[in-house]
Amino acid sequence: MLGRKPKVVVVGGGPGGYEAALVAAQLGAQVTVVERAGMGGSTVLTDVVPSKTLISVAEVMNQASEAEALGLRFPGSDGDPETAEPITVDLARVNARVRKLAEAQSADIARRLDAEGVRVLRGSGRLDGTERVVAELAGGGSEVLDADITLVSTGSSPREMDSARPDGERILTWKQLYQLESIPERLVVVGSGVTGAEFASAYDALGSDVVLVSSRDRVLPGQDGDAAEVIEDVFRRRGMELMGRSRAKAARREGDGVVVTLEDGREVRGSHCLMAVGSVPNTVGIGLEEAGVELSGSGHVQVDRVSRTSARGVYAAGDCTGVLPLASVAAMQGRTAMWHALGDAVSPLRLRKVSANIFTAPEIATVGWTQEQVESGEVDGEVLMLPLAGNARAKMLGIRDGFVKLFASTGSGRVLGGVVCAPRASELIFPVALAVEHGLTVDQVAHAFTVYPSLSGSVAEAARRLHASPEIA
Ligand SMILES: Cc1cc2nc3c(=O)[nH]c(=O)nc-3n(C[C@H](O)[C@H](O)[C@H](O)COP(=O)(O)OP(=O)(O)OC[C@H]3O[C@@H](n4cnc5c(N)ncnc54)[C@H](O)[C@@H]3O)c2cc1C
């Protein structure tokens, strides 16, 4: 080992970067983070934190819109939801709160890093070989940093189409939404992946007329089919217009609105358009290839399961690696890199154990093997789906949609994975994640007490029913 403190330089201060910096500082390294925007990265400033804050407002709106059915009356209502005076959203205030909360979270992270002795430089970093990073400082000038270990955690940016350039006013990326002062009258969302579906769901609840343009025949391609079907049903019931098999070719401003042109020549008009057509890694022009860091065809940094790149001493974490674009995964990749680089105990990343959530209404949470993998025989298992409509608590809460689905290994009954489609599925998936992580059987899950009445009772009930399955017993 070195006779002095190892020098660690982190380029990019999102969860991939700042979590790594904290671990490195804990393990005794001298750590510098170079970040060009703000600590917490896009995760905190423009992506996860703002979107989930906005969505939490949409959640309240959804509850309010369903309150009539529970017996509540709003001014002007005679008990008929159609005649109730709508609750309105002051988007300028909502967005001001969203931005403030994100900035406060970023400041919290900066304080924590400072308290742990991590040096933060505001500026752009680029590799100069494998043992030096050059920081072009935001205030002018540059600094050359020696690095025994470098972590690249530069994240990704929204993919932009030449024919649909965002202007920040009418044609928007998801990062530009928080500058809006009023609810878009008619929002055309291009892209029905996780980001598109989440914003379509949120803006629909906040009061926009939403058109969701999807190139595929179903929303949320690649996700659990039953859950996607629930989301489509709910979206349609709320009046959203879903355009499947409709690939957008271009978007342009026209007067006070936008026109989205589809590949088949049709045009979709709206007041605003959100382009949610994926992202590209921030890996260009930062000296990676010159330092011997291998990139994939899509420009992502190639890493192994302990976050090593092809260049000695250079690690990478988060969205720039394209491994799995989640803040939790970025953070774990960053920590893993430092545990490995600084000689601490480390276990390679296991994606099968990652819980993920789509924050639509209802939410969709998943962990472990998928139904597709079970049904294709990739893993030998059984599937059990339990609609929430039969759950006592769901009835009390007026929840009509959603389900709990568990997959269990044939023979042993070990929980392989699951899907929860429900309000706050992000919380309900945890018992399934615990079962997957620790190899619990459906019987072990079923024998744990759940509160009566509770939505989590359906997780235990699904496990109980899998025991009864003759294929497993
Ligand atoms: C709308 C939206 C919602 C999402 N919601 C969720 C969610 O609910 N849960 C979840 O787990 N994930 C969510 N994600 C995914 C999540 O945002 C990413 O997986 C996560 O941000 C990746 O973290 P990161 O550290 O790789 O990058 P980032 O958080 O993007 O941080 C990278 C940082 O690097 C900086 N940087 C780039 N290049 C340089 C350079 N050369 N020098 C210095 N600094 C540089 C950037 O300024 C940025 O601050 C969402 C994504 C989007 C788009």
The alpha carbon of 155 and the centre of ligand 1 are apart by a number of angstroms equal to 5
In this structure, what token pair is assigned to residue 105? 């979270």
Pairing assessment for the beta strands 363-368 and 209-213 based on DSSP bridges: unpaired
Packing angle of the helix pair 430-438, 457-468 (nearest 10 deg): 50
**Contact status, residue 260 vs residue 250, Cβ threshold 8 Å:** yes
Mean pLDDT across 399-427: 97
Helices of type H across 348-456: 371-375, 392-397, 425-428, 430-438, 442-447
pLDDT band for 83, please (50, 70, 90 cuts): low
* Residue 73 confidence (pLDDT): 84
Say if ligand 1 is within 6 A of residue 300 CB.
no
Q: With bands split at pLDDT 50, 70 and 90, how would you rate the model's confidence at 228?
A: very high
Measured in angstroms, how far is the CA atom of residue 358 from the centroid of ligand 1?
A: 16
pLDDT at site 79: 61
Question: How much is the pLDDT for 81?
Answer: 59
Query: Would the pLDDT of 147 be above 60?
Result: yes
Cβ neighbors of 317 (< 8 A, separation 6 or more) are 16, 17, 20, 151, 152, 153, 303, 307, 330, 333, 334, 336, 337
Q: Whose CA is nearest to atom 50 of ligand 1?
A: 48
What pLDDT does 473 receive? 45
Which residues are paired to 119 by β-bridges?
32
Strand partners, 158: 279
pLDDT tens-digit map of 250-287: 999 999 999 999 999 999 999 999 999 999 999 999 99
Q: Residue 206: its pLDDT value, please?
A: 97
Could you tell me the pLDDT band of residue 69, with boundaries at 50, 70 and 90?
A: confident
Query: Which pLDDT belongs to residue 66?
Result: 87
What is the C-alpha to C-alpha distance for residues 20 and 63, in angstroms, rounded to an integer?
Answer: 39
Asked if residue 19 has its Cβ within 6 Å of ligand 1, the reply is: no
Q: How high is the pLDDT of residue 1?
A: 55
Per-residue pLDDT tens digits for 101-115: 999 999 999 999 999
Contact 316, 151 (CB under 8 A): yes
Find out whether the beta carbon of 196 lies less than 6 Å from any atom of ligand 1. Answer: no
Mean pLDDT value across residues 231-241:
97
Mutation pick for ligand 1 pocket among 35, 43, 338 (CB with most ligand atoms within 8 Å): 43
* pLDDT one-digit tens code per residue, 159-211: 999 999 999 999 999 999 999 999 999 999 999 999 999 999 999 999 999 99
Residue 325, SS3 per DSSP:
coil
| Ligand 1 pocket, residue 322 CB under 6 Å | no
Cα 121 to middle of ligand 1, angstroms: 18
Residues 6 or more apart whose Cβ sits within 8 Å of residue 324: 351, 354
Supply the residue whose CA is at minimum distance from atom 12 of ligand 1.
326
Nearest-atom index, ligand 1, CA of 318: 26
Task: Tell me what pLDDT residue 3 has.
Answer: 80
Ligand 1 lined by 157 (C-beta under 6 Å) = no
C-alpha to C-alpha distance for 34 and 22, rounded to whole angstroms:
14
Q: Which ligand 1 atom is nearest residue 41's CA?
A: 49
**Amino acid 68: pLDDT:** 84
Q: Which residue has the higher pLDDT, 472 or 193?
A: 193
Name the strand (E) or helix (H) holding 106.
helix 91-115
Q: What is the mean pLDDT of the chain?
A: 95
